[in-house]
Amino acid sequence: MSYLSIKGLSGKATIGGTVKIVGAKNAALKAIAASILFRSPLLLDNVPDIEDVSRMLEIIRTMGGSVSVASHKATIDASTLSSTTLTPEISKRLRSSIVLTGPMLARHGLVRFPHPGGCVIGERPIDLFVEGFIKMGAKVKKVGKFYHVAAPKGGLRGGELFFRTQSVTGTETFMMAAVLSRGVTTIKNAAMEPEIVWLADLLNASGAKIAGAGTPTVTITGVQLLDAKKKVFTVIPDRIEAGSFLILGALAAKKLTVTNVIPEHLESLTELLTYTGTKISTTKNSITVSANKKKGGLCAVNIRTHEYPGFPTDLQAPMVVYLTQAEGESLMFETIFEGRLNFTESLNRMGANISMMDPHRVIIRGSTTIKGSHLESPDLRAGLAFVIAAIIAKGESKIYNVYNIDRGYERIEERLRSIGVCIERKE
Ligand code: EPU
């Protein structure tokens, strides 16, 4: 079983340099699903070379589409799909497979799929999807572990969808379904993440009519199959990867710069880092951070995760590691997923002082000395949080279940080594 072996810096701030941020996982995955809405191949650039992207492309390929990928460029032709069943072995392990259901149903009138899996961070129901399909005229049957969804004769009908809970994949799925539906669809209480705006821009540049992406109300007027006319779409930078490196830099770098970022997408993080005592400077497409190594230099803060533009749940785990180094009591309120604070138990074994109040809230008392340990990566974001904890720790750590980290972070050990981290992948 492979693992990451990391030599800790014992709290010293010695790493530094520049990290170029790759394309956003949660944008690339949705563009791959969008290819189903196209009559012609979809061309993408800046596609991250990560496991989740490979799995999503594999679903398209195994369903009869053709895919070629090289040097972060992908060509996806889903016009030849021959199956309406989302390849179950892959789909059930990948939450983002759910976004394929919208374009499939809109284009082929039928889709069968297993309950989508992914990271174990909470229950992750799909009730909003089932209700949305029904509102657009589809019939939904549960047959064993599979959902069978069939559009009405003549195709999905536009309608009004109000999401009880803002959902990123829900917004994307129905935005895409509505592109090939009859009439107008309105999504209210839509999620507003930058990846959704990018997806809407890609669809609009290919013939879709979507208004309001990035606001709580998105209106989509149905059109015919899309055609990108050989335009190449560049995936936006991964704000979560950038944020994770910035948190690492804030703890352990003399000076660390992340490049190829959109600083505006990271404001909730940079605001909190600055507030708690970390020095940040920003250019149009880069952010530089330096660790504050004054004794008591970082102060505690209360944070609640929130839909964009609030503090992202995907940065909650690395931020908890940061707060173990801040003086005083911080509260982390994880409002989105109920299973996403369980990793804090392992941080306590490393020397942190974190009390769980309930599944959504922990109190972090700092600052504490973190010691190297053997850890199991429970999901990709907590996995990276363990990597950060191991880097600041005293002694050596081994992090198992690296697949979970590879799902969302490209060549992680190589890129960490390039900024001075002593890390190796071992068998
Ligand atoms: N929810 C429902 N019913 C549904 C769908 C969602 O109750 O039918 C609830 C969820 O349980 C959760 C809330 O709505 O409490 C919001 O979940 P959302 O649907 O927004 O999450 P998601 O779309 O499944 C995406 C990202 C996650 C990211 C969240 C929140 C993808 C593939 N995944 O998940 O990314 O944490 O939005 O921003 O885009 C990650 O990259 O590590 C990751 C988990």
pLDDT digits (tens, 9 = 90+) for 132-153: 999 999 999 999 889 999 999 9
Coil, strand or helix at 340: coil
Cα–Cα distance, 307 to 141 (Å, whole number): 31
Q: Is 25 labeled as ligand-binding?
A: yes
Q: Is 336 one of the annotated binding-site residues?
A: yes
Strand 73-77 with 42-45, pairing: antiparallel
Question: Ligand 1: which residue has its CA nearest to atom 19?
Answer: 167
> How confident is the model at residue 198, as a pLDDT?
98
**What burial letters (b/e) apply to 135-148, b meaning 16+ CB within 10 Å?**
bbbbeeeeeeebbe
**Does position 76 have pLDDT exceeding 70, yes or no?**
yes
Q: Is the pLDDT of residue 109 over 70?
A: yes
The response to whether 126 counts as a known ligand-binding position is yes
Q: What mean pLDDT is predicted for residues 268-297?
A: 96
Average pLDDT over every residue of 243-255: 98
State whether the beta carbon of 336 lies less than 6 angstroms from ligand 1: yes
Expressed in angstroms and rounded, the spacing between residue 118 Cα and the centre of ligand 1 is: 10
**Average pLDDT in the 157-176 region?**
97
Residue 129 CB less than 6 A away from ligand 1 = yes
User: What share of the chain has pLDDT > 70, as a percent?
Assistant: 98
Per the CB < 8 A criterion, the answer to whether 364 and 353 are in contact is yes
Domains of the chain (ranges, CATH numbers): 3-22+237-426 (3.65.10.10), 25-234 (3.65.10.10)
Rounded distance from Cα 169 to ligand 1 centre (Å) = 6
Q: Which of 168, 304, 338, 340 to mutate to test the pocket of ligand 1 (most atoms within 8 A of CB)?
A: 168
Task: Flag the least confident range among 104-113, 117-126, 198-207, 344-353.
Answer: 117-126
Going from the Cα of 46 to the center of ligand 1, the distance in angstroms, rounded, reads 23
Judge whether 142 is annotated as a binding position.
Answer: no
130 pLDDT band (50/70/90 cuts)? Answer: very high
* Whether the predicted pLDDT of 123 surpasses 80: no
pLDDT mean over 417-426: 97
Residue nearest to atom 40 of ligand 1 (CA): 314
User: Is the confidence at residue 351, as pLDDT, over 80?
Assistant: yes
- What residue owns the CA closest to ligand 1's atom 5? 126
CA distance 366 to 424: 29
Give me the mean pLDDT over the 290-295 stretch. Answer: 93
Q: Which amino acid does the sequence have at 300?
A: A
Q: Ligand 1 atom closest to Cα of 338?
A: 15
> Cα dist. 104→156, 171, 398 in Å?
11, 15, 42
d(CA 149, CA 127): 13
Quick one: average pLDDT of 364-384? 96
Mean per-residue pLDDT, 84-89: 94
The Cα angle at residue 221 between residues 138 and 177, in degrees rounded to 5? 35
Q: Is the pLDDT assigned to residue 122 strictly greater than 70?
A: no
Report yes or no: 86 and 112 within 8 Å, Cβ to Cβ: yes
Q: Could you identify the residue written with the tokens 């209210």?
A: 188
* Among 117, 122, 49, residue whose Cα is nearest residue 86: 117
The catalytic residues are 119
Place 295 in a pLDDT band, splitting at 50, 70 and 90: confident
- Tell me the average pLDDT of the chain: 96
- The SS3 of residue 287 is strand
Ligand 1: atom nearest CA of 381 is 42
Question: Which residue has its alpha carbon closest to ligand 1 atom 16?
Answer: 167
Residue 106: pLDDT above 90? Answer: yes
Residue 37, SS3 per DSSP: helix
| Ligand 1 atom nearest 312 alpha carbon | 38
Would you state the pLDDT for residue 273? 98
Sequence-distant (≥ 6) Cβ neighbours of residue 223 within 8 angstroms? 179, 180, 207, 208, 209
Contact 378, 404 (CB under 8 A): yes
Does the pLDDT of residue 119 top 60, yes or no?
no
**Nearest-atom index, ligand 1, CA of 195:** 39
In percent, the amount of the chain with pLDDT more than 90 equals 94
